[in-house]
Amino acid sequence: MLNILIIILGLVALKALVWFVLKAKYDEAPPADEVHSVRCSDGWRIKLYRRFDKDNPGEPIILCHGIMGDPTNFMYPTGNGMVDTLVEQGYDCWVMDLRGNRHCAPPIGTSRYTATYDDHYMRDFPAAIDHILTHTGFERLHWIGHSMGGMLLYTYAAVHGTHQLASGTTIGTPPGFKDLNQKPMPITLTALTLVPALADPWLRTLATLGPVVKLSASFAPINWKNMAPNINFFSTTEYAPPSVLRQIHDWASTGTWKIKEANIDMMEELPKLDIPLHVIAGSIDPLSPKATLEKFHDNLPGEDKRFTLLGKETGLPNEYNHVDLVFSQNSKEEVHLPIVEWLNEHPANRPKKKRVPRKKTSAKKKSAAKAKVKRKNT
């Protein structure tokens, strides 16, 4: 018994040592020109990482990561991430860090692991969008979301409307879960929801092994042929709050998508989605099958929409899966520039300043003023 206890304590000590070494080496804050801490209506503080040309910021874009992701998902490969391309093309990028992530701050006495999906669309995004528009002087912005980041666009639009959105781009985003037939929550996901404080460091530590063993999990499928080398998965992986993990999995396993707080069935709302929308699909993405996304795109009510399939079928050298949609080594040409083309076609112009008309001066007052000036000169 004593030997077993010693072994367990040894493993715990080894894990702690590995964790602190990894944190010292890799745990960097997302690179940004500005970091904005935004207070939500319930006291939470979320982070916005801004990248832009200070001399010419351009139109604002809010970018939102997927589940178990963070802002760095749009910043890798280093120097060739999506944000790099967008800033190079003249856009003002505001990368969202959803509540529950390690860089956000809950109110005193609240655990960061208590965040829910409803919190994101009810509190995080209203605060973030108002902050961005106030700060930049625009009336509208663009939204780019990967996976759950795109689901939140659809949910936000259903609850709050689209008047503040110039365009949307969703990347590998499931428009509901009717066609997935997901199995009950696997052991790995169940374990992640039991003791968050322990699961968090274990998840990020194990993520560092992904590139070594070419890991491709059912909830994070990857085509490693696309992946850029030397990606720091310790920093780009984020523990998702248990409530969010369970909610997404419940929808996937039941084929439903009902959001609790707003009491809305999203499957009834999606056909009403009124926003210029660019839908991007990976050719072998099992979480967002290409046929499902194409059908969703075709059934959108508006004419201002675009469907982009990434894979060999459209002339690319490799098929695209779910995670590599944002981490591809060829992402600039294959993913970013098609998005830039879409954005350029949907300007989010600044509101025109209202001209204040000059007060009219009567002829009598003009004559009196001229006489006064004449007397002063003599």
Nearest Cα to Cα of residue 280 among 312, 320, 227: 320
Q: What pLDDT, on a 0 to 100 scale, did the predictor assign at position 355?
A: 38
β-sheet bridge partners, residue 36: 48
Read off the pLDDT of residues 158-167 as tens digits, 9 standing for 90 and up.
999 999 999 9
User: Model confidence at 284, in pLDDT bands (50, 70, 90)?
Assistant: very high
pLDDT at 352 over 80: no
Average pLDDT over residues 330-342: 95
Judged by average pLDDT, the poorest of 13-22, 112-121, 357-366 is: 357-366
Question: Which residues does 12 contact at the CB level (< 8 Å), separation at least 6?
Answer: none
pLDDT at 325 over 50: yes
User: Model confidence at 129, in pLDDT bands (50, 70, 90)?
Assistant: very high
pLDDT at 376 over 70: no
Average pLDDT over residues 1-5: 52
Judged by average pLDDT, the poorest of 122-131, 145-154, 205-214 is: 205-214
Read off the pLDDT of residues 21-59 as tens digits, 9 standing for 90 and up.
555 555 566 889 999 999 999 999 999 999 999 888 899
Q: What pLDDT, on a 0 to 100 scale, did the predictor assign at position 298?
A: 95
Average pLDDT, the chain: 84
Grouping H, G, I as helix, E, B as strand and the rest as coil, residue 66 is coil
User: Model confidence at 182, in pLDDT bands (50, 70, 90)?
Assistant: low
pLDDT at 11 over 70: no
pLDDT at 253 over 50: yes
Question: Which residues does 62 contact at the CB level (< 8 Å), separation at least 6?
Answer: 94, 95, 96, 125, 128, 129, 132, 141, 142, 143, 144
Global confidence as pTM: 0.86
Q: What pLDDT, on a 0 to 100 scale, did the predictor assign at position 340?
A: 97
Q: What pLDDT, on a 0 to 100 scale, did the predictor assign at position 320?
A: 97
Q: What pLDDT, on a 0 to 100 scale, did the predictor assign at position 277?
A: 98
193 or 121: which leads in pLDDT: 121
Q: What pLDDT, on a 0 to 100 scale, did the predictor assign at position 8?
A: 46
User: Model confidence at 181, in pLDDT bands (50, 70, 90)?
Assistant: low
pLDDT at 148 over 90: yes
Domain ranges of the chain: 33-346
State the Cα–Cα distance between residues 165 and 141, nearest whole angstrom. 5
Q: What pLDDT, on a 0 to 100 scale, did the predictor assign at position 31?
A: 84
Average pLDDT over residues 236-250: 88
Q: What pLDDT, on a 0 to 100 scale, did the predictor assign at position 27?
A: 58
Grouping H, G, I as helix, E, B as strand and the rest as coil, residue 331 is helix
First to last CA, the chain: 113
- Domain 33-346: CATH superfamily is Alpha/Beta hydrolase fold, catalytic domain (3.40.50.1820)
Grouping H, G, I as helix, E, B as strand and the rest as coil, residue 245 is helix
State the Cα–Cα distance between residues 270 and 300, nearest whole angstrom. 8
Judged by average pLDDT, the poorest of 27-36, 79-88, 340-349 is: 27-36
Q: What pLDDT, on a 0 to 100 scale, did the predictor assign at position 308?
A: 97
